[in-house]
Amino acid sequence: MSTATHEGTLRRVRTPPTERANWRSALWGNRRLGAAAAVGLGALTALVSSLPMPRGPVSAGQGLAVIGVSLLVGVAAGYVMRSRWALLLAPLAYIAAYELARIGIGGASLEALRFDSVYGIAAFAAGRGFHALLALLPMIVGASIGVAIARPRRLLALMPTGILTLAVIGLAVQVALPASTPPVLGANGQPVPGSIAELTTVELGGQDQAISIRAADPDNPVLLYLSGGPGQSDIAFARALLEPLTQDFVVVVWDQRGSGKSYAALDPTSTYTLDALVSDTIALTEQVRDRFAEEKIYLLGESWGSTLGVLAVQERPDLFHAYIGSGQMVSQRVTDQILWRDLLAYADRTGNSELYDQVLTLGEPPYRDMPWANSLVMGHYGLLETPYDPPAAYVARGEASGVGQFGLFGSEYSFVENANLIRGLVDMFSLMYPQLQEIDFRTDVPELGVPVYLLDGANELRGRRELAHEWFEQLRAPHKKLITYADAGHAVAFEQADAFLRLMNEEIVPATYHASPRGEQ
């Protein structure tokens, strides 16, 4: 073999490893190229993730996926950049790209940052803040690991990273923990044999939506409860505060599309209309009616739920034994106008110039800056209320429930769903509020084809109570009754749950309940 041939063979064997080493050296030695790679990884991950998750993770599965992918992306970014600057550049690129990708997505939680009210702060924490926790912490930990792998001499620096890694593992465990609802208990404190305590989903309007069902006896009449808001999730509240009703009724509580456990059903927001929610109410009624073999059910609406309930009964009176309104709404626009004037007059009367200027700046309703304007007014409702002492049983149930503000920390919600409680309340209110402005039951609903019972709190704000009385007086129905409770305000059914149960058992059911197909067999 010639010398030339031998040298050529050596070149063919040795050149590829040298080229690979040079390629790595060029990549790792070029800080700009490494930084571009880290930024690109963070931005690309955000753009891809925003397609199935424009609002960020809204379920446990999505939350775990965000944690896992972010960790891997962080490792890759740290490895290619070989600098702890990757801990900053990749997350910043992720944030910027995600914000750009979801421009135009409806809902106040994704609009401009607002820190001028507790609702604005809560919306930021539950929306962008929660997403950042699930994505950025794992990405930072991953980037630190990637740098240490690329630069073995930095392995000792992994000790603080190890602590953060444990935090990521703990976060993943929290995300993965499922929600649950406690059993229905009897007078002896033990689970009632044959009872139902269930969290499940149903398909309404092509969307999966969450409900809870609680009953000591599934053969009892069915009561469907419609939460307030729009956007309030009352699954945990109702379990804690309406629990007496489960002894004699099958109590169904629904997270309407876009709220709480049903937050994912908010999109596409073009389908989030008042007509759609009325249709959902009717569809859910038909499903629970069929499941429990009941010809009709009872409908209880609280606050915004009373608006939804009246409209559903007006459209399909054949589905309901009776309608019960608690904190009855009649006209969102007129109520807001009265409350705005009352708060302005209070500020003027008491010489509170700061409050006066704030309320005056909002402008007379309907409010344009929603839901933030409404949150400011709501924060001062206590100034307009007549002081009263709610029943001791109501207070005790609330304290024992462990359920916090907005329904947070109820066992019925997973870690991700706790964030959804806030996001749903803010987003649903901002999207539904404009759709309620032309509704006024005094002209739109002169008649209902079922017996009507209004639970009237003597300490309710006059902006709601006076309208409810006016509508009730002119309403035509097969039977109607207004029941006033001295120790109650807006949430009468919750505050007076024991008295409400007696009313149902002693008056409403005997007068309205007709034998179901099951009962006739």
Is-contact 397 241, C-beta < 8 A? yes
Task: Give the CA count within 13 Å in the CB-facing half-sphere of 69.
Answer: 18
State the pLDDT at residue 409: 86
State the pLDDT at residue 224: 98
Which helix or strand (DSSP H or E) is residue 483 part of? strand 480-485
Is-contact 58 126, C-beta < 8 A? no
State the pLDDT at residue 413: 95
Residues of the chain with pLDDT under 50: 1-15, 518-521
Alpha helices in 109-190 (DSSP H): 118-124, 130-150, 158-176
Is-contact 333 440, C-beta < 8 A? yes
Distance, in Å, from the CA atom of 355 to the CA atom of 137, rounded to the nearest integer, reads: 40
Label residue 317 exposed, middle or buried (CB < 10 Å: 0-12, 13-18, 19+). Answer: middle
Distance, in Å, from the CA atom of 213 to the CA atom of 242, rounded to the nearest integer, reads: 12
Cα dist from 209 to 200, 279, 287, whole Å: 8, 13, 13
Q: Which of these, 474, 411, 415, 410, lies nearest to 442 by C-alpha position? A: 474
Q: Which of these, 76, 71, 81, lies nearest to 29 by C-alpha position? A: 81
What is the amino acid identity at position 237? F
Task: Give the CA count within 13 Å in the CB-facing half-sphere of 328.
Answer: 27
Angle at 43 between CA 416 and CA 51, to 5 degrees: 55
Distance, in Å, from the CA atom of 356 to the CA atom of 344, rounded to the nearest integer, reads: 6
Distance, in Å, from the CA atom of 323 to the CA atom of 299, rounded to the nearest integer, reads: 5
Is-contact 36 8, C-beta < 8 A? no
Strand pairing partners for 252? Answer: 213, 224
Model confidence pLDDT, tens digit, residues 382-398: 899 888 999 999 988 88
Strand pairing partners for 476? Answer: 447
Distance, in Å, from the CA atom of 283 to the CA atom of 270, rounded to the nearest integer, reads: 20
Give the three-class secondary structure for 223. strand
Q: At a CB cut-off of 8 Å and minimum separation 6, what does 281 contact? A: 226, 308, 309, 311, 312
Distance, in Å, from the CA atom of 268 to the CA atom of 206, rounded to the nearest integer, reads: 11
- Name the residue with tokens 């031998």: 6
Is-contact 192 236, C-beta < 8 A? no
State the pLDDT at residue 471: 98
The two three-digit tokens of residue 69, written as one number: 């992918």
**Whether residue 366 has a cis bond before it, omega within 30° of 0:** yes
Q: What is the largest CA-CA distance in the chain?
A: 113
Strand order in the sheet with 250-254: 196-204, 207-215, 250-254, 222-226, 297-302, 320-326, 452-457, 480-485
Q: At a CB cut-off of 8 Å and minimum separation 6, what does 360 contact? A: 344
State the pLDDT at residue 25: 59
Domains annotated on the chain, with CATH:
25-176 (no CATH), 196-520 (3.40.50.1820)
Q: At a CB cut-off of 8 Å and minimum separation 6, what does 351 contact? A: none
Angle at 17 between CA 14 and CA 22, to 5 degrees: 120
State the pLDDT at residue 158: 60
Is-contact 373 359, C-beta < 8 A? no
Distance, in Å, from the CA atom of 299 to the CA atom of 449, rounded to the nearest integer, reads: 13
User: Rg of the chain over CA atoms, in angstroms?
Assistant: 29
State the pLDDT at residue 178: 95
Q: At a CB cut-off of 8 Å and minimum separation 6, what does 273 contact? A: 435
Q: Which of these, 146, 147, 259, lies nearest to 207 by C-alpha position? A: 259
Length of the chain measured in residues:
521
Q: Which of these, 191, 209, 207, 189, lies nearest to 199 by C-alpha position? A: 209
